[in-house]
């Protein structure tokens, strides 16, 4: 192994095209008579000497088309990892020892647990904030090294003022990372708001079929972005959290329909959020008005936790399973997950709305709600 860095994308540029077209057209092999329309899957651990890369922990040509496609959507350079949490770990490793991280108290639970354990081990200091309270976030900024933003948050669906908080963080010299898993680059592009690095769990909407675990970082195309990308790539190479070529290929295949999937899922979510708000068993609906995740609180005899659990267990079409962002609708009482922040109500059920017929989805929720008595 050497200091080599992943090669820069070689396939055709699709700049100037709509993102809806980009997801279909990006990351294709060069057109030549007889060339394949889709990129091949390269199963190899090593390469013949004297090429640009000598070992497949550094780079694999199967990663490149997916990285290029997602990088183009976010407006930066993407690096693919073995999971969303591997991408999170690479970004947290940018924080110097003893550094200060400002993060949402109700961020994705893997991020909350990672930061909590790093703080307990004395590696860094965390200042937990309510990401929707811009004044509170600003008050926590002085001395910060990294500001972690997630918007909408998982699963409370709180929204952060990304451009405002990013500018404020930069004033104190902090790096800004944005977990863009829920929004996807079709709905929100944090690099355009000034963020330094975007993080994705590509397990979710980007791949979209609940069949792979993958993650990405995306950094800007300026000097600061390139310097960060070099450090992140080095972390990936040395940490070894790399994607399998088959998973990378499946993710690109899933990405082709991102725009169609998201459009249908968002329409379904908007409709279901309205119907749920009128249901007597639902005490609160959290839906920011866009995206395809809806969180509801279930009314119950005591705290509603048992009823929320029964709602999730009683559906036939929706699957009672963790994760989100696939074509198939899923729901889950989030507090059944160890490590879920206490800010998440015990009776909260997160619905990841898929692309099925909205009336079928509604009837299934209705029958499960009705069975609560």
Known active-site residue 179:
yes
Which residue of 14, 62, 83, 184 would you call a contact of ligand PLP, by CB under 6 A?
83
Which residue of 215, 220, 245, 341 would you call a contact of ligand PLP, by CB under 6 A?
215
Nearest-approach distance from CB 282 to ligand PLP, in angstroms: 23
Q: If you search the block for the tokens 């490793």, which residue do you land on?
A: 93
Number of residues that bind ligand PLP (CB under 6 A): 15
248/41 Cα distance (integer angstroms) = 9
Under rule CB under 6 A, residue 319 binds ligand PLP: no
Nearest-approach distance from CB 182 to ligand PLP, in angstroms: 6
Under rule CB under 6 A, residue 114 binds ligand PLP: no
Nearest-approach distance from CB 184 to ligand PLP, in angstroms: 11
Under rule CB under 6 A, residue 330 binds ligand PLP: no
Structure tokens at 321: 């399973």
Under rule CB under 6 A, residue 294 binds ligand PLP: no
Nearer to ligand PLP, 203 or 217 (CB): 203
Known active-site residue 57:
yes
Under rule CB under 6 A, residue 213 binds ligand PLP: yes
Under rule CB under 6 A, residue 128 binds ligand PLP: no
Which residue of 65, 72, 84, 208 would you call a contact of ligand PLP, by CB under 6 A?
84
353/108 Cα distance (integer angstroms) = 18
Stretch touching ligand PLP by CB under 6 A, among 90-98, 161-169, 196-204, 308-316 = 196-204
Known active-site residue 204:
yes
Under rule CB under 6 A, residue 219 binds ligand PLP: no
Structure tokens at 5: 């860095």
Which residue of 6, 80, 103, 108 would you call a contact of ligand PLP, by CB under 6 A?
108
Q: What is the DSSP letter of 96?
A: P
Going by C-alpha positions, the residue among 123, 181, 112 that lies closest to residue 340 is 112
Structure tokens at 167: 């500018």
Residues constituting the chain: 373
Nearest-approach distance from CB 123 to ligand PLP, in angstroms: 20
Under rule CB under 6 A, residue 207 binds ligand PLP: no
Residue nearest to ligand PLP (CB): 84
Nearer to ligand PLP, 84 or 220 (CB): 84
Q: What is the DSSP string of 170-200?
A: HHTT-EEEEE-TTT-TTT--GGGGT-SEEEE
For residue 288, count CB atoms less than 10 angstroms from its CB and return exposed for 0-12, middle for 13-18, buried for 19 or more. Answer: middle
CB 202 within 8 A of CB 70: yes
Out of 20, 57, 231, 256, the active site residue is 57
Question: Binders of ligand PLP among 160-189, rule CB under 6 A?
Answer: 179, 181-182
Q: Are strands 348-352 and 330-333 parallel, antiparallel or unpaired?
A: antiparallel
Out of 28, 59, 108, 333, the active site residue is 108
Nearer to ligand PLP, 204 or 334 (CB): 204
Question: Binders of ligand PLP among 12-71, rule CB under 6 A?
Answer: none
Strand order in the sheet with 282-286: 282-286, 293-298, 348-352, 330-333, 319-320
180/189 Cα distance (integer angstroms) = 8
| One-letter-per-residue 3-state SS of 12-71 | CCCCCCCHHHHHHHCCCCCCCCCCCCCCCCCCCCECCCCCCCCECCCCCCCHHHHHHHHH
356/315 Cα distance (integer angstroms) = 14
Residues with a catalytic annotation lie at: 57, 108, 179, 204
Residues of the shown chain interacting with ligand PLP in the complex, contacts defined by CB under 6 A: 83-85, 108, 110, 150, 154, 179, 181-182, 201, 203-204, 213, 215
């Amino acid at each position: 192994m050497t200091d080599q860095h992943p090669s820069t994308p070689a396939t055709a540029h699709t700049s100037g095209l709509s993102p809806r077209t980009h997801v279909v057209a990006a990351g294709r092999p060069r057109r030549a008579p007889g060339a394949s329309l889709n990129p091949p899957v390269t199963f190899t651990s090593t390469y013949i000497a004297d090429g640009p890369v000598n070992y497949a922990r550094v780079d694999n040509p199967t990663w490149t088309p997916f990285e290029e496609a997602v990088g183009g959507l976010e407006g930066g350079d993407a690096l693919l990892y073995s999971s969303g949490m591997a991408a999170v770990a690479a970004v947290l490793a940018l924080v110097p020892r003893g550094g200060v991280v400002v993060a949402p108290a109700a961020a994705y639970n893997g991020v909350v647990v990672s930061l909590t354990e790093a703080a307990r081990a004395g590696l860094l200091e965390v200042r937990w904030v309510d990401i929707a309270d811009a004044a509170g976030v600003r008050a926590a900024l002085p001395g910060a090294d990294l500001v972690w933003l997630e918007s909408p948050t998982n699963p409370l669906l709180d929204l952060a003022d990304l451009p405002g908080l990013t500018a404020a963080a930069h004033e104190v010299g902090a790096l800004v990372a944005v977990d863009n898993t829920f929004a996807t680059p079709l709905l929100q592009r944090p690099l355009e708001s000034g963020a330094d690095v975007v993080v994705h769990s590509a397990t979710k909407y980007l791949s979209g079929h609940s069949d792979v675990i993958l993650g990405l970082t995306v950094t800007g195309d300026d000097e600061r972005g390139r310097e960060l990308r070099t450090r992140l790539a080095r972390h990936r190479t040395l940490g070894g959290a790399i994607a399998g070529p088959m998973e990378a290929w499946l993710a690109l295949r899933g990405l082709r329909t991102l725009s169609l999937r998201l459009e249908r899922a968002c329409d379904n979510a908007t409709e279901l959020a309205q119907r749920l708000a009128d249901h007597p068993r639902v005490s609160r609906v959290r839906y920011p008005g866009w995206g395809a995740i809806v969180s509801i609180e279930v009314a119950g005899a005591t705290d509603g936790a048992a009823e929320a659990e029964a709602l999730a267990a009683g559906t036939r079409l929706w699957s009672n399973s963790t994760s989100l962002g696939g074509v198939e609708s899923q729901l889950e009482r989030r507090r059944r997950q160890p490590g879920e922040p206490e800010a998440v109500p015990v009776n909260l059920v997160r619905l990841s709305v898929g692309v099925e017929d909205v009336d079928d989805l509604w009837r299934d929720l209705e029958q499960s709600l009705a069975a609560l008595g």
